[in-house]
Amino acid sequence: MRSRYSAFSTGEVQYLLDTQRLDGVSREQLEASVASTRWLGLSVLHSSSAGDEGEVEFIARYKDAQGLGQLHERSRFRREQGRWLYVGGRHLPPPKPQRNDPCWCGSGKKLKKCCGA
């Protein structure tokens, strides 16, 4: 999971394609997403695995043309030939940020005085 987040953050589209088993997600879609999104942080809330199946619940914070956002997802992974591959996920409602929370960009300021202004 962390490696895929890093790939989104650094624009490694080929890695994203190589580590997923999804139909209908094209290189062009991933390139557009990577180009238009600045990823600000990742929090892994829960992870579990049983044999070759795994699940990770996370919140990824980002900034795009619409402003600040959060992606809260429960992702499913499958191990094939020793490598974990993303096979799908379910979006969950993101937690509501509070004005006095630390800013997601890591500035050390409160959200209301930084990116949330």
Give the domain CATH number at 28: 3.10.450.50
Q: What is the pLDDT of residue 95?
A: 84
How far apart are the C-alpha atoms of 30 and 44, rounded to whole Å? 22
Residue 94 pLDDT exceeds 90: no
Task: State the pLDDT confidence band at 38, using cuts at 50, 70 and 90.
Answer: very high
- Helices (H) then strands (E): counts for the chain: 3, 4
Residue 67 pLDDT exceeds 90: no
CB 20 within 8 A of CB 8: no
* pLDDT tens for each residue of 70-86: 999 999 999 999 999 99
Which domain covers residue 9, as residue numbers? 2-113
Q: How many domains does the chain have?
A: 1
- The residue-averaged pLDDT of 28-48 equals 93
Other beta carbons less than 10 A from residue 78's beta carbon:
15
Q: Which two tokens stand for residue 98?
A: 């509070």
pTM: 0.83
What residue ranges in the chain does DSSP mark as E strands?
A: 38-50, 53-64, 67-80, 83-92
